[in-house]
Amino acid sequence: MSEEKKEFWRWKEYNWHDESKDWKGADIITAGADVGSVSSQAVIMVDGELYAYSNMRTGSDSPDSARNAMDWALEDTGLSLDDIHYVVGTGYGRVNVPFANRAITEIACHARGGNYMYGPSVRTILDMGGQDCKAIRCDQRGKVTNFLMNDKCAAGTGRGMEVFADLLSVSIEEVGDMSLEVDEEPPPVSSTCVVFAKSEASSLLRSGWSKKMVLAAYCSAMAHRIMTLLERIDVEKDFAITGGIAKNVGVVTRLEKELGLSSLKSKYDTQIAGALGGALFAKALIEKQRKGS
């Protein structure tokens, strides 16, 4: 059904690998596969350094998604799954990564991955995925000290943003920029429930609000909502944002303003944090295994 419907909400899918690196002769090759309800990523690390990754839409079948993401990350590298010493599966579909040696929660993986991507100074990580939102506190080693995750309510998840983008016929990639093109910041939409916010948005449009104003009001409401969640785990700097929401400059800017903190930026794609953390856990686990034997 949704295949026929034009998808307004597609992040770019792609793969990448480091052509300057030669994995042959590496001591430890590990991988992480993060199967989310909306998108999946696979990350390959060679001796603890990022080597390759992929980012794609999750299909309807989790075991296929994990395999597809992994194959795509491996593409053109000369590596095959058999060369990988240890694989960690994570994400909503982590039990469906048939080739994983162990499953680790996305919370722990995001903290570890965030520590790699943003450096050991990061203490607070916000991750907003397709159908969930996580707030994580970690220490300098990337170990979790406090966390919460919301996957019950669509507001404050990528899905909530998608519904709005769809309502306004705007592609998800444009939402952020468009929301900032307002002369004056409008008041936020009053309801955080996506269903009620949608009705409210329709009324606002009818009363003459532009699409940009409505987007601004919704991004503002979302930023405020995220703030409430973050307050529960006590925000400490440095602060970083991972997941799809990090690409929404409309929410990020407003959130940074409310927090009074800038979020660290990374040269890596923010959506790979979970899989990257998984690959790092994999390295630690295989090292432990080797020491034991």
Partner 1 sequence: MKANYGYMDGSGEFFISIDTDLCIECDHHGCVDACPVGLFEIITDDYDDEVAAVKGDHRKKVKYDCGPCKPVTNRPPLPCMVACTPGAISHSW
Partner 2 sequence: MITAGIDMGAKLIKVLVLRDGDVLAKTQEMAGFEPKEAAGKAFERALSEAGLSERDIDLVYSTGSGRKLAPFAKDSVTEVSAAARGTLFNNPSVRTVIDIGAEEGRAVKCDDQGRVQDFAVNEKCAAGAGSFTESMSRALEVPLEEFGKLSLKSTKTIPMNAQCAVFAESEVVSLMHAKTPKADIARAVHDAIASRIISMVRRVGINPDIALVGGVSYNVGFVDSLNRGLETQVIIPDGAEFVGALGAALTAKISLEKSA
What residues make contact with partner 2 under the rule CB under 8 A?
1-2, 60, 131, 152-154, 159-160, 163, 191-196, 203, 206
Considering the complex, what minimum distance in angstroms separates the CB of residue 128 from partner 1? 13
Binding segment for partner 1 (CB under 8 A), chosen from 27-35, 39-47, 99-107, 176-184, is 99-107
Q: Closer CB to partner 2, residue 5 or residue 141? A: 5
Distance in Å, CB of 77 to partner 2, minimum: 34
3-11, 17-25, 74-82, 226-234 -> range binding partner 1 (CB under 8 A): 226-234
Q: Is 290 in the site for partner 1 (CB under 8 A)?
A: no
Q: Applying CB under 8 A, which of residues 147, 164, 218, 239 lies at the interface with partner 1?
A: 147
Tell me whether residue 288 is exposed, middle or buried, using C-beta atoms within 10 angstroms of its C-beta: 0 to 12, 13 to 18, 19 or more: exposed
If the CB atoms of residues 146 and 210 are measured against partner 1, the closer one turns out to be 146
Residue 279: name the closest of 145, 111, 109 by CA.
Answer: 109
First-to-last C-alpha distance (Å) of the chain: 52
b/e per residue, 243-261, with b = 16+ CB within 10 A? bbbbbbebbbbbbeeebeb
Q: Does 229 bind partner 1 (CB under 8 A)?
A: yes
Partner that binds at residue 227, options partner 2, partner 1, none, CB closer than 5 to 8 Å by kind: none
C-alpha 175, offset from chain centre: 17
When binding is defined by CB under 8 A, the residue of 57, 71, 75, 144 that contacts partner 1 is 144
Cis peptide before 64 (omega within 30 of 0): no
- The two beta strands, 39-46 and 29-35, are antiparallel
26 binds partner 1 (CB under 8 A): no
Distance CA 39, CA 7 (A): 14
Residue 107 interacting with partner 1 (CB under 8 A): yes
Q: Which of 258, 253, 208, 205 is nearest to 229 (CA)?
A: 258
Among 66, 155, 178, 245, binds partner 1 (CB under 8 A): 155
Of 163 and 282, CB closest to partner 2: 163
User: Nearest CA to 238 among 119, 108, 143, 141?
Assistant: 119
Q: Is 284 in the site for partner 1 (CB under 8 A)?
A: no
Binding letters toward partner 1, positions 157-196, x by CB under 8 A: ----------------------------------xxx--x
Q: Rank residues 144 and 193 by Cβ distance to partner 2 and give the closer one.
A: 193
Say which amino acid occupies 181. E
Query: In angstroms, rounded to a whole number, what is the distance separating the alpha carbons of residues 91 and 35?
Result: 5
> b/e map of 137-160 (b: 16 or more CB within 10 Å)?
bbeeebebeebebbeebbbbbbbb
Out of partner 2, partner 1, none, what residue 1 binds, judged by CB under 5 to 8 A for its kind, is: partner 2
Q: Which residues bind partner 1 (CB under 8 A)?
A: 104-105, 107-108, 143-153, 155-156, 191-193, 196, 225, 228-229, 232-233, 281
